[in-house]
Structure 1
């Protein structure tokens, strides 16, 4: 059974932005491709952090928590373009992390990207590798988004964000009880009232985390559930930031994440059990749960 061992919302606001040379190079490339009239003033309006800098910060935060001892796979989830274009992220990550883990990237999947990355991480850890018998160890899923972007008709992040998930098939963590990524009709965004945990909520009450564009009436919410809403300024990191905030605060509570991508037409959900200290003995129930990821 796949387990989410840790979720870390990596602080990036104090990271050094790219230099003027990188911004100038990006502007020149844009004008070369799209014409001299292409506006590039947005390059100076944003904070200007690139993904290599943000990935280094994530590695440092995870190393400080002792979460990198057995990482055999790194899956990058990129929902907005990298500001820099001089380095390929796959090779950069393989060199940055000890042991040169197997690395790949999920792109062009919108808000479904992190859910797809978890499914792929499960498959690679269990069945991947050169012999097809699995990589073993743990996988790191890095959800990345930066906000130095040109104006667009779609919702873009309000700030740079990185959320890191460490997953594996043994050890402590939250067991994955269900994971779905399904096609859904594209459409207008629903009115999404803010929701947050009520003071004094029971520590073992189930947490239901809703993405910005999820209609609360379209998901199952029980009377005792605590409903949480993702930050409207986030893109693909939104529900995962909420999970990071409540993972340690309510370890005995189950968590269900619901996300909807209106641009690409996806509906996603992830159900996690309470955090366990050690892995339970494998049995029929574990095998049944693992089937949802097969």
Structure 2
């Protein structure tokens, strides 16, 4: 049984001095121009310039103790400010090395849900005893990114998955076009809590913790990292969910109190 054994969340408040980087500008311009997207280097200069490596490192430092994972999965819905570094390899190095590590991207806010599903599958197959999922997001872009127009915080959440924690990773169902139906099908327990992201619409008549705007794919995972211990005192199941504003598709994950038995 794969459970949540520890978690941390960070919202960066610092800015890095802007250093013009012609290689970065050239790379991003070559990437965007074929799709009719205009690159404005001044946007890079105005941003905080915080990288995924920084965010991951800060979040790992906030854990009660560093894990020793055999699997590291990094998840992000938007690209890094400086996209030339391996984040999974960096996290692996910070944690002592030796883990299988990779990133899941190009899925929008679905990426962390996929990461959780992958970690659970690794655990079931016997290839993962301790897993670490790192969800990262930054807000510096050289183009007009719609999701960052109102400000996008530089954030990271780390979920340490192993044995003995209070929350079992019970199910990560397929995406759906109907969020209310997805949540209803996912919910379990007698005292459930729905943790809903910024774009979650109508929900079943259940207790709900709504996450404020300001983040995209990290939103519900930041809330889980901050509150999972207190929620374990009041609830026996959590449904984390949100609807991706880019696709209209909804995603959910069910966490159940580890001592609870039954079907999902």
Quick check: TM above 0.5? yes
Residue 204 of structure 2 corresponds to 220
TM-score using structure 1 length = 0.73
Where 1:181 maps in the other structure, the secondary structure is coil
TM-score using structure 2 length = 0.81
Residue 133 of structure 2 corresponds to 141
* Distance of aligned partners of 1:85 and 1:269 in 2 relative to their CA distance in 1, 3 Å threshold: closer
Work out whether 1:261 is the aligned partner of 2:220: no
Mapping for residues 54-73 of structure 1, pairs under 5 Å: 54-62=55-63, 65-68=64-67, 70-73=68-71
Name the CA distance, whole Å, in 2 between partners of 1:32 and 1:259. Answer: 33
Residue 7 of structure 1 corresponds to 7
Q: Is this contact kept in 1: 2:166–2:232, CA < 8 A?
A: no
Residue 49 of structure 2 corresponds to 48
Q: Is this contact kept in 2: 1:181–1:266, CA < 8 A?
A: no
RMSD between superposed Cα atoms in Å: 2.8
Deviation at 1:265, TM superposition (A): 4.0
Name the CA distance, whole Å, in 2 between partners of 1:5 and 1:18. Answer: 36
List per-residue Cα deviations over 1:172-231 (Å, max 9, x = no partner).
Answer: 22013332132428xxxxxxxxxxxxxxxxxx9532211211112xx3223xx2x22112
* Distance of aligned partners of 1:88 and 1:10 in 2 relative to their CA distance in 1, 3 Å threshold: same
Name the CA distance, whole Å, in 1 between partners of 2:110 and 2:39. Answer: 31
Deviation at 1:238, TM superposition (A): 0.9
Q: Is this contact kept in 2: 1:161–1:237, CA < 8 A?
A: yes
Deviation at 1:18, TM superposition (A): 6.2
Q: Is this contact kept in 2: 1:67–1:166, CA < 8 A?
A: no
Q: Is this contact kept in 1: 2:193–2:239, CA < 8 A?
A: yes
List per-residue Cα deviations over 1:93-145 (Å, max 9, x = no partner).
Answer: 33332132110111011111111110100111222xxxxxx223211111111
Where 2:41 maps in the other structure, the secondary structure is coil
Stretch deviating more after TM superposition (229-238 or 154-163): 154-163
Work out whether 1:246 is the aligned partner of 2:227: yes
* Distance of aligned partners of 1:56 and 1:245 in 2 relative to their CA distance in 1, 3 Å threshold: closer
Residue 166 of structure 2: which of 161, 165, 173 is its match? 173
Deviation at 1:251, TM superposition (A): 2.0
Residue 151 of structure 1 corresponds to 144
User: Which of these two proteins has the greater Rg computed from alpha carbons?
Assistant: 1
Q: Is this contact kept in 2: 1:155–1:235, CA < 8 A?
A: no
Residue 186 of structure 2 corresponds to none
Deviation at 1:146, TM superposition (A): 0.4
Q: Is this contact kept in 2: 1:75–1:105, CA < 8 A?
A: yes
Paired residues, number: 246
Structure 2: where are the runs of 5+ without partners? 179-189
* Distance of aligned partners of 1:205 and 1:102 in 2 relative to their CA distance in 1, 3 Å threshold: same
List per-residue Cα deviations over 1:221-256 (Å, max 9, x = no partner).
Answer: 23xx2x221121110111112222321223221322
Residue 213 of structure 2 corresponds to 232
